[in-house]
Structure 1
Amino acid sequence: MGLLLVFFPQNHNAPNTNSTFKRTNSNNLILSKTQSTISICALLFFLTLLLFTLSTFEPTNTLHHNNNQPTKLAQSKTQNHNKALQRMGTLYRRGTRAMTDLVICHVADETTVHEFRYFLRLIHRSGLTARTDVVFLFASGSLSSSFAPVIREENEAFSSLVELHSELNSTRWSQLPESTFDVTRFFVRVGKKGEEIAEPLWGKKTRINTSDEVMLSYGSVLSFDAAELDPENSLAGFLDRVPLSLRRWACYPMLLGRVRHNFKHVMLVDVKNAAVVNDPLGRVRNRKSESVFLFVKHGKKNNDATRTSQRPVNPAVVMGGARGVRRLANAVVVEIVRAAMQQRKRKNSVSESAILSQLTGGNEFMLKAKGVELMEPSESIPDASQLSGRNSSASLSDYAIIQRGTTSNHDLISSVIKKQICSSVVDSSVYRDC
């Protein structure tokens, strides 16, 4: 801002009569004009400061849920480039309220767009997102950029699906039998009218209140890159190559530590090798915060007294209390370093399944010392090939989690999933690939 200066020329032709009186009047006039000039400059300065403040201020939005229009999701749609948490991550969709559960899905480099799309579509339809936030952990920034359009497309498809099914329910249409989507799972009752709802953890602050007894409930969708949560790549000094299957365990302590007061239960899922079809967290919600549940790999059961925990652990799905999962992640990082030091001379690779199996078997005392209450793994994740049998009448709704199986079987399973979803007249109008 420039400084406004006003100069008043001296009048040398003024008569000398009454010079003292005129000099006094001239001084008063100059003083008055100077004060006016300073006031104008000060006003301009404060106006400029006010405009600058308003231009950089992040407004606080108020989401008001109306029972007459419960499915309007446009109010809570998030800008594509919003940061998720403390200038990290990307927020694709901000949920309608604070959630108690968190699902962290790691996406390895070899994951295809097709596999990722169907994983996200199924987890949207499962009903799990009605009470959980979903975080995707990518191996690199380039991978997250390539999958970002898929996340936005499936978020929009979910919004359209909810709106369409809600309209059919409001007109008292019975749910079409071929549809496996239950929209009623995404509505919850609130305590009192006008009660303020706890806002989501992610993104900008938003005051949420409702004047109705029922509100739409869905969680946030966001992502982090491994470099954001593990900037030093802590395992690189012990391993020649650190795949995301191992590096993710070094990322969890950072993320779970920052949100440790916000979530009660956590599930870790491998996008490429597993798919969430219903809500599997029901089996751990009544357990202690230190509890952890693991699955074992498919294999022939032993008939002798061999402990079931000696069977290889399946690392595709880990779930339990938030405290237990966080402590397990810390223990896994230590075990990875120990195994890498031992196998460096042998030049053997470090297996994620072997690490978890060692912790739950031979070194189980380490988990107890860390305060982890392990629910002994004894069952395996159902294989998705059961859906592709010619005489099989199994449906997606019959499972909580399914295992994709071998690489050659991925396309076959995806086609079966697509067929079951697109068989519904209502659902097929939402998805472009139906």
Structure 2
Amino acid sequence: MGIFLILFPDEHHQQIQSTNDNNSISKKKAINFNLFPPSFSLPSSLKSTKSVNLLYQAQYAISICALLMFTILLLFTISTLPSTTNTTATREYHQPRRQLNGVSSSGRNSSTHALQGMGTLYRRGTRAMHDLIVAHAVESLTSHEFRLFLRLLQRSGTTAKSDLLFVFPSKSSVFDRAIREENDDFMKLLDQYNTNTTLSNNYSSSFSSFKPSHFVKKIDKSKHTGEPIWGRRTRSNLSEVDSAESRRLSYGSVVGFDVEELDPENSLSGFLDHIPMSLRRWACYPMILGRVRRNFKHVALVDMKEVLLLDDPFDKIRGTAMDSVLVITQSSNEKHGRRNLNKAQKLVTPTIIIGGDRGVRRLSDLMLTGIVRTSIQRKRRNSETESALFNQLVGNPFVLQKVKLIASTESIPESISKANFGMVKRRGNADVDVNYILMKLICSFQVESTVYSDCYTYVDK
């Protein structure tokens, strides 16, 4: 209303009223003038009244235009003010800097889609990573085994350089809760060690001790590391970091997918009657690895039931070509199929495959084709073992022309004390419970015993 008072003061209003009165009088006169012959001319007073009307109409049009311009400017000003979303994004960007002295477990991201409307984002990393670990869960994987795999991986420092992607047979609230709890415990553990640096310095260098220095990265303002590809993008400006502070936390993203999202048509159903997760996972890789191609340099395919990662598995292949793939020798007591295999051929395991992004994608495509070809040639709808099919593929150099296969000279060690390859194979017999030994070893540390809620079950046992 104040705008109208400025544009139309009281005196203008009175003039308009007088003008309206004059208009009514002029109309009456115009009626009388119509009685005269057409040759009769209008008086000069009527002409002046008409010009005044045009003047006020022009002023009214100008006032309306000015009002519209003011409204547009007001809306533009409101839209450019800092919103809650931008404030939140800025707070999230500065959070790792504040967490150097204390990490809060409340920094966990809420559940959102991981990539292009699919998957679940459990934790968004601090930056874009060059390595990706794709870990799949078979039907027999228990919650306890899954927790141990994730806990050891988080503690090993591997997630400081790589993203972690889970592939599940189906949606599971048990695994979902386990991931969120382990992520919270990891942030609490990082907080405890950062606030008690003397404790971390006193611990031994064994694979079971936590090293918070792995998760601290020096900031180079001249190089932009980029944002993670998972979840919603946020605006971050590296120049906003104080020049006096040259370090920040660095950890990868944690995401999860189920097979129905990556293989909605169940591609192998037309060739096999029973499709275990160990075989169906190969039908999931073309979808997910194809969507993240060129975002990662190295990829590892891991069976969480069989393999525990105690160190960075990519250290063995750094510096190799992008089409190189490292395969590892099977242990002596691991079940496998020997049919159609050369006796001199050394068997390898499909439970852990590490290589360049291009090489792993090509190998996974060839494995999927090999599964289909074998079922058609043998006219059997019962599935072959994954180990037998994988060794047939590895033993065919003609098929692997576009993959530089690197066969390791060592098998995955079964003894914890011999875990010189950065991982440990789960022992299949009942003589040694690797899970129990590792959990008790983790809980023997002072900080870990207070952070992990399940450590009370391993005290004095």
Q: Identify the range of structure 1 (75-84 vs 348-357) with the bigger mean alpha-carbon deviation.
A: 75-84
Counterpart of 2:425 (choices 399, 403, 413) is 403
SS where residue 210 of structure 2 aligns?
coil
| 1:180/1:421 contact within 8 Å kept | yes
Q: Deviations over 1:63-88 (max 9, x none)?
A: 24887852555599453233322333
CA distance in 2, matches of 1:202, 1:235: 28
Distance 2:83 2:286 in 1: 33
1:317 aligns with 2:352: yes
Please give the alpha-carbon distance, in whole angstroms, between the structure 2 residues aligned to 1:342 and 1:307: 25
Q: Is the 8 A contact 1:189 1:215 kept in 2?
A: yes
The answer to whether the 8 Å contact 2:169/2:259 transfers is: yes
- Quick check: 256-265 or 193-202, which moved more? 193-202
Partner amino acid, structure 1, of 2:382: N
Call closer, same or farther: CA 1:173–1:382 in 2, change over 3 Å.
closer
1:252 Cα deviation after fit: 1.5
Tell whether 2:147 aligns with 1:117. Answer: yes
> Could you give the per-residue CA deviations for residues 86-132 of structure 1, whole angstroms, max 9, x where no partner exists?
33322221222222111001123432222211111111011111111
Q: Is the 8 A contact 1:63 1:75 kept in 2?
A: no
Give the counterpart letter for 1:281 in structure 2: F
Query: 1:197 touches 1:208 (CA, 8 Å); kept in 2?
Result: no
Mark the CA change 1:208 to 1:319 in structure 2 (over 3 Å): closer, same or farther. farther
- The answer to whether 1:151 aligns with 2:176 is no
Aligned residues: 405
- The 8 Å contact of residues 76 and 96 in structure 1, kept in 2 or not, is answered as no
Contact 1:64 1:208 in 2 (8 A): no
* Superposed displacement of residue 267, structure 1: 0.6
Tell me what 1:182 maps to. 211
Which residue of the partner structure matches residue 168 of structure 1? 196
Letter in structure 2 aligned against 1:201: I
CA distance in 1, matches of 2:105, 2:237: 11
1:185 partner amino acid: H
Equivalent runs, 1:337-376 vs 2, <5 Å: 337-343=372-378, 345-361=379-395, 363-368=396-401, 371-376=402-407
Identity %: 39
Higher helix content, 1 or 2 = 2
Aligned residues of 2:363 and 2:403 also touching (Cα < 8 A): yes
Deviation at 1:248, TM superposition (A): 1.7
Residue 231 of structure 1 pairs with residue 264 of structure 2: yes
Q: What is residue 156 of structure 2 aligned with on the other side? A: 126
For the pair 1:91 / 2:121, whether they are aligned, the reply is: yes
Contact 1:103 1:135 in 2 (8 A): yes
Deviation at 1:316, TM superposition (A): 1.3
User: Which residue number in structure 1 is paired with residue 3 of structure 2?
Assistant: none
Identify unmatched segments of 5+ residues in structure 1.
1-7, 388-393
Q: How much has 1:327 moved relative to structure 2?
A: 0.6
Inter-partner Cα distance in structure 2 for 1:339 and 1:57: 57
After TM superposition, give the deviation of residue 155 of structure 1 in Å.
1.0
Deviations 1:191-237 (A, max 9, x none): x4575433323231442525433332211111222233333322222
Partner SS state of residue 355, structure 2: strand
Judge conservation of contact 2:359–2:403 (CA < 8 Å) in 1: yes
TM-score under structure 2 length normalisation:
0.76
The answer to whether 1:269 aligns with 2:302 is yes
| Inter-partner Cα distance in structure 2 for 1:47 and 1:112 | 59
How much has 1:426 moved relative to structure 2?
1.2
Q: Which residue identity is paired with 1:220?
A: S
- 1:199 is aligned, of 200, 205, 227, to 227
Indicate the SS of the match to 2:109: strand
Task: Determine if contact 1:63/1:76 at 8 Å carries over to the other structure.
Answer: no
Which of residues 331, 344, 347 is equivalent to 1:307? Answer: 344
CA drift of 1:298 comes to: 2.1
TM-score, structure 1 as length reference: 0.80
- The answer for the alignment partner of 1:390 in structure 2 is none
Per-residue displacement from partner, 1:37-66 (whole Å, max 9, x unpaired)?
466467657867987899999645472488
SS at match of 2:202: coil
1:11-54 CA distance string (max 9 Å, x none): 69832374443344345434544554466467657867987899
Q: Is the 8 A contact 2:272 2:381 kept in 1?
A: no
Question: What letter matches 1:429 in structure 2?
Answer: T
Per-residue deviation, residues 332-372 of structure 1 (Å, max 9, x unmatched): 111011012123x34432221111110111x232012xx10
**Residue type at the aligned position of 1:101:** D
* 8 A Cα contact 1:128 1:279, kept in partner: yes
1:421 is aligned to 442
Q: Is the 1:102–1:134 Cα contact (8 Å) retained in structure 2?
A: yes
Distance 2:387 2:397 in 1: 15
Give the aligned CA root-mean-square deviation in angstroms: 3.6
Q: 1:250 to 1:58 in 2, by over 3 A?
A: farther
- Aligned: 1:379 with 2:406: no
Aligned to 1:260, the other structure's residue is in SS state: coil
Question: Is the strand fraction higher in 1 or 2?
Answer: 1
Matched, 1:14 2:47: no
Classify the secondary structure of the residue corresponding to 1:14: helix
Q: Aligned partners of 1:245, 1:278: CA distance in 2, in Å?
A: 24
Provide the C-alpha distance between the structure 1 equivalents of 2:98 and 2:78, rounded to a whole number of angstroms. Answer: 38
SS in 1 for 2:302: strand
C-alpha distance 64-194 of structure 1, shift in aligned 2 (>3 A) = farther
Determine the C-alpha separation between the residues in 1 that align with 2:429 and 2:177: 24
C-alpha distance in 1, partners of 2:376/2:85? Answer: 49
User: Residues 67 and 46 of structure 1: is their aligned pair in 2 closer, same or farther, counting only changes over 3 Å?
Assistant: closer
Preserved contact between residue 275 and residue 404 of structure 1 (Cα < 8 Å) = yes
Q: 1:188 to 1:339 in 2, by over 3 A?
A: same
Structure number with bigger Rg: 2
Q: Quick one: structure 1 residues 51 and 153, their matched pair in 2 at CA, closer, same or farther if it must change by over 3 Å?
A: farther
Is contact 1:71-1:162 (8 Å) kept? Answer: no
Distance 1:227 1:120, change over 3 A: same
